[in-house]
Amino acid sequence: MSSPIAWPEGGAVTPEWAQRLASSLEANTRGGDPPSSLARVFPRATHDALFDACGAILESEPTLLKLEPGPGVRVVVVGDTHGQLHDALKLIRLAGEPSPTNWFVFNGDFVDRGAWGAELFAVAMAWKVAAPRHVFLLRGNHECEFCTEVYGYKRELQVKYGKAAGNALWRKFTRVGAALPLAAQIGAKTLVLHGGLFRGRPRPKNKGAKKKLGAKFKRLAAAADAANADGTLSPGTLADLAAASKGGPDPDGEGAAQIAGDVLWSDPAGPDEGVPNEGMIPNENRGIGTMFGVAATGTFLRENGLALVLRSHEGPDAREDRAGMDPMKSGFSVDHEIEGVGKLCTVFSAPDYPQFVEEGEGRHENDASFVVLEDATEWAEPKPVRFAAERPRPRSRPYYDVTVGGSDEEGPDGELARAVKRDEDEKEARAGGEGEEGEEDPANEDPANEDPANEDPANEDPSSGASGEGGAPRVRAS
Ligand SMILES: [Mn+2]
Rounded to an integer, the average pLDDT of 238-262 is 95
Predicted pLDDT of residue 461: 34
For domain 191-387, give the CATH number: 3.60.21.10
Domain boundaries of the chain, sorted by first residue: 191-387
Is residue 16 scored above 50 in pLDDT? yes
- Residue 109 C-alpha to ligand 1 middle, in angstroms? 6
- Residue 265 C-alpha to ligand 1 middle, in angstroms? 7
- Residue 204 C-alpha to ligand 1 middle, in angstroms? 33
Q: Which residue has the higher pLDDT, 38 or 221?
A: 38
Measured CA distances, 355 to 86, 313, 317, 468, 470 (Å): 11, 16, 12, 12, 10
- Residue 150 C-alpha to ligand 1 middle, in angstroms? 14
Angle among Cα 118, 287, 358 to the nearest 5 degrees reads: 50
- Residue 247 C-alpha to ligand 1 middle, in angstroms? 15
- Residue 229 C-alpha to ligand 1 middle, in angstroms? 30
Predicted pLDDT of residue 407: 58
Among residues of the chain, what percentage have pLDDT more than 70? 77
- Residue 195 C-alpha to ligand 1 middle, in angstroms? 7
In the residue annotation, 86 being an active-site residue is answered as no
Name the band, by pLDDT with cuts 50, 70 and 90, for residue 172: very high
Cis bond upstream, residue 181 (ω within 30) = no
Cβ(154)–Cβ(113) below 8 Å: no
Name the band, by pLDDT with cuts 50, 70 and 90, for residue 404: confident
Tell me which of 47, 82, 86, 142 is the catalytic residue: 142
| Residue of 408, 280, 352, 288 whose CA lies nearest to 81 | 352
Is residue 225 scored above 90 in pLDDT? no
Cβ(313)–Cβ(307) below 8 Å: no
- Residue 8 C-alpha to ligand 1 middle, in angstroms? 33
N-term to C-term CA, the chain: 34
- Cα separation, 72 vs 66, in Å, equals 18
Name the band, by pLDDT with cuts 50, 70 and 90, for residue 223: very low
| Average pLDDT, rounded, for the chain | 85
Is residue 475 scored above 60 in pLDDT? no
Cβ(182)–Cβ(139) below 8 Å: yes
- Residue 19 C-alpha to ligand 1 middle, in angstroms? 27
- Residue 315 C-alpha to ligand 1 middle, in angstroms? 9
Among residues of the chain, what percentage have pLDDT more than 90? 70
